[in-house]
Structure 1
Amino acid sequence: MIGVVTPDELLTTTRTVRKRLDLERPVPREVVEDCVRIALQAPSGSNRQTWQWIVVTDPDQRAAVGAVYKKSCETYLESQGAAGRLFAEDPERSKVQKRVHDSVAFLADRMGDVPVLVLPCLRVASGRLPSGNQAGMWGSILPAAWSYCLAARARGLGTAWTTLHLAYENEVAEILGLPEDVFQTALIPTAYYTGDTFKPAPRQPVSEVLHWDRW
């Protein structure tokens, strides 16, 4: 059921949900289909609409994808670019980063237990990614994937946008039986969330990131 939420609230409180995903409560198929139906209204390059959506609910399939994700996430968590190692010189920011780091590790151990795993994909006719500018290509699926997250939030579902599994994209493609011309964009675990709601996160002041006319 869709809750009453303003557009601004929806856009500022659609957070990455990891520790608050309810792993026990089933997500009805029709709710996921509604979210994808909303997502299909997003723009795409030349209106091609070459997106494809893989929704994984089978326990064995979820476990297999989760195992690949955990393997990739373990490498990430040990890297210098891991969330918990960033902004170490800023004590307040460092606290936030360490919480993010812990939540990433938490989800890595449980990805295969999340009721629904959604993988937005893009079908490329040539079967090969272009060597040049790819912004337009990915821009034909990323708005739709984010619309899915917003639609899920409006229905009381939590999501997390992650791409860590793409380090082993071919392994996941084999698990899911993807054709060679279908490329994965993200992995979006989806579940009802625990607790009441979410609030906007601290962000930089607009004055620090906004440039008018030139840098």
Structure 2
Amino acid sequence: MTVAGRASLFDLGEVDRLLTTTRSVRRRLDVERPVPAEVVREALELAVQAPTAQNLQHWRWIVITEEKVRLGVAEQFRQARWLDRYRGTRSRRGRREAENRRLQDSADSVVELIAKVPVLVVPCMVGRPPDIGRIDAEWTGRGYRFDPDDIRSRSRMGAMMASNFYGSIYPAIWSFQLALRSRGLGSTITCMNLMFPGPFAELLGIPEVVTPICVLPVAYTVGTDFRPAPRVPAGERTFWNRWGTEEAP
């Protein structure tokens, strides 16, 4: 029974286990075991059932299985990782040394994964990411005189358009990861390739009007005994009806 006292349409125990144990998997990917193309297709078919703004379905997916292409992506990741390590040593000075080392080692392991995993999946979006500042400047530059009774003078379009853009692909990416997990595979979202958008697009033949969002290394996992991650309880990060109000009605 659910909290509301109604029978569930699904096995909540299994659904909750899937949702709480779909981890970002890096160290427990079996890079030696082949991944059948049909398994990737099944996961993608489930992924595209995710919500998308105005049902435009502007997502595109590049599945990389050729070693030459994969190694090309890996080389770009190595270059990006070098830059990221330099940036990280400056931006993470306030972190504890052990935590910083763990984060650095985890990022290094991703670079090695890219070169070895049997499959890479690159989710893309048709279109370019909205420039929030430019859009807002153009919108407010249309000559609307500020009038508290005129909704146009108080509105901004940039944040909404950016939310629509990325919000139309990340639910599908998460659904893809859930579908992989339910089939004994794992993945992790990586974005270091975006440091070199031009060379990355050229390597994969991505048109200028298409935006690669991330890279997902995909492989079967070594074991399936994943556990929920340590997280701050949702109640400590939840407000009711208004920011700062923590008590539920």
Q: How many percent of aligned residue pairs carry the same amino acid?
A: 41
CA pair 142-61 structure 1, distance change in 2 beyond 3 A: same
Residue correspondence of structure 1 range 61-210 to structure 2 within 5 A: 61-80=69-88, 87-88=95-96, 95=98, 98-124=101-127, 128-131=128-131, 132-133=158-159, 134-210=162-238
CA pair 86-195 structure 1, distance change in 2 beyond 3 A: farther
- Contact kept, 8 Å, 1:76 with 1:82, in 2: the verdict is no
Q: How far apart, in 2, do the equivalents of 1:87 and 1:104 lie?
A: 16
Deviation at 1:195, TM superposition (A): 2.7
Q: Report the number of matched residues.
A: 203
Matched position secondary structure for 1:192: strand
Q: 5+ unaligned residues in a row in structure 1: which ranges?
A: 89-93
Deviation at 1:66, TM superposition (A): 0.9
Q: Please give the per-residue CA displacement for 1:133-175, whole angstroms capped at 9, x wherever unaligned.
A: 2111111111001110110011100101111110112211101
Give the letter for the 1:103 counterpart.
S
Deviation at 1:84, TM superposition (A): 7.2
Matched position secondary structure for 2:242: coil
Give the letter for the 1:14 counterpart.
T
Residue correspondence of structure 1 range 22-41 to structure 2 within 5 A: 22-41=30-49
Give the letter for the 1:129 counterpart.
P
Structure 2 residue 47 is the aligned partner of structure 1 residue 44: no
Q: Please give the per-residue CA displacement for 1:86-115, whole angstroms capped at 9, x wherever unaligned.
A: 642xxxxx6455334312212212312111
Q: How far apart, in 2, do the equivalents of 1:9 and 1:24 lie?
A: 27
Of stretches 104-113 and 159-168 in structure 1, the one that deviates more from structure 2 is 104-113
Structure 2 residue 61 is the aligned partner of structure 1 residue 53: yes
Deviation at 1:190, TM superposition (A): 0.2
- Contact kept, 8 Å, 1:83 with 1:97, in 2: the verdict is no
TM value normalised by structure 2: 0.76
- Contact kept, 8 Å, 2:113 with 2:217, in 1: the verdict is no
Q: How far apart, in 2, do the equivalents of 1:169 and 1:203 lie?
A: 33
- Contact kept, 8 Å, 2:47 with 2:172, in 1: the verdict is yes
TM value normalised by structure 1: 0.87
Q: How far apart, in 2, do the equivalents of 1:101 and 1:207 lie?
A: 30
Deviation at 1:207, TM superposition (A): 2.9
